[in-house]
Amino acid sequence: MEHLEAMDGVFLDRRNIYTVSRNPGVRVYGERLVNIHGTEYREWIPNRSKLAAYIACGGRTFPFRKDSKVLYLGAASGTTSSHVSDIVSDGIVYCIEFAPRSFRDLVNTAKGRDNMMPILGDATKPEEYSFAVSDVDIVYEDVAQKRQADILVDNMERFNARYGMVSIKARSEDVTADPKDVFEASAERLRRRGCKVLEMVDLSPYEKDHVMIVVEKQRCVYSIAIRDGEFLMVYNPKRNGWEMPGGRIERGETVEEAASREFLEESGYDVDIIGRMSIGYCDVCACTLGEKIGDGEMKSGFFRTLPSDLAFDTDEYIMVIDWARSLLG
């Protein structure tokens, strides 16, 4: 059995796909169980799971990791979400399902899987289950109705997810249109809403007129660093204004790693991060200022009040500065 290094937690044996069972001895949908050297593997059947079909069809952009937090939209009875539960063994899978009958089966599937959280809810209304779902790394969607691309992004934005996967069913969008046109329109809609399309894979022969689209919605971070009551800002000549040091979170970086790197690159100062807050489109870190250990890319300055020539919104900066000061005392 060969471990797919690019897909944590997924294994291949010739043409078969497996995950390590989180609930040994229990079949969810009649799948084959295989014991190798004391470890039980569950066969992941592409005809029963669109995510397995994506892998079987050559999909290789797989954002799931051992500690990932996943929001699964359209979990049905739990066939695929149980395999996701296997993969994210140190993470959590929030399973949203709208149909009461399927939800009852989902609850039964989740027994013995303490990282699966079944939630009865409508994927088009993320505000209704936001009380039970924290920020996630990935939103996975298998909801057969119109506006599939928008449902994905609405949930990604609500729960600050960097990655999204959506199984687009052409007939759910438009029964009269050419499926290829539906798929391209969905991909374009995702791009218009700020997502980078990483991969689009046809799921045939396992699913007719379906594709899996994988997207990334790259997040950014900036930091509020205070010393002796003054906060540091940098002057960005491209935007002709003062701003907090920050930038994009690179793939593989934590928020804190990106915040420290961007602060050092732009200002030349080291920082010690003591708090983090999400404000929707990005994360903000509260920091104590360390030593100046290099030349920054931008001119830096210290302020007690915000300067008039700001690059970004004044009200937002007032709010996050007050928050940072409350943490820093």
Q: Write out the chain's pLDDT in tens, 329 residues.
A: 554 444 778 998 878 999 999 999 999 999 999 999 999 999 999 999 999 999 999 999 999 999 999 999 999 999 999 999 999 999 999 999 999 999 999 999 999 999 999 999 999 999 999 999 998 999 999 999 999 999 999 999 899 898 999 999 999 999 999 999 999 999 999 999 989 999 999 999 999 999 999 999 888 999 999 999 999 999 999 999 999 999 999 877 889 999 999 999 999 999 999 999 988 778 999 999 999 999 999 999 999 999 999 998 899 999 999 999 999 87
Residue with tokens 């950014």: 220
Please give the DSSP secondary-structure letter assigned to residue 253: -
Residue 255 token pair: 């928020």
Q: So what's the pLDDT on residue 254?
A: 86
Task: State the pairing for strand pair 220-227/282-292.
Answer: parallel
3-state SS assignment for residue 180? helix
| CA–CA distance, 307 with 232 (Å, rounded to integer) | 11
Q: So what's the pLDDT on residue 88?
A: 97
| CA–CA distance, 73 with 238 (Å, rounded to integer) | 40
- Measured in degrees and rounded to the nearest 5, phi and psi for residue 226 equal -120, 135
CA-based nearest residue to 213, from 167, 178, 170, 180: 167
Domains of the chain: 45-216 (3.40.50.150), 220-328 (3.90.79.10)
Angle at 294 between CA 290 and CA 295, to 5 degrees: 120
How many beta carbons lie within 10 A of that of residue 111, not counting itself? 10
Alpha helices in 129-173 (DSSP H): 148-158, 170-173
CA-based nearest residue to 255, from 239, 235, 275: 275
β-bridge mates for residue 61, sequence order: none
Q: So what's the pLDDT on residue 50?
A: 98
| CA–CA distance, 135 with 88 (Å, rounded to integer) | 15
Q: So what's the pLDDT on residue 4?
A: 42
- The DSSP H or E segment spanning 126 is none
pTM above 0.75, yes or no: yes
Burial group, residue 10, by CB count within 10 angstroms (0-12, 13-18, 19+):
buried
CA-based nearest residue to 146, from 122, 173, 182: 173
β-bridge mates for residue 272, sequence order: 288
- The answer to whether residues 95 and 102 touch, using CB atoms and an 8 Å cutoff, is no
Q: So what's the pLDDT on residue 1?
A: 54
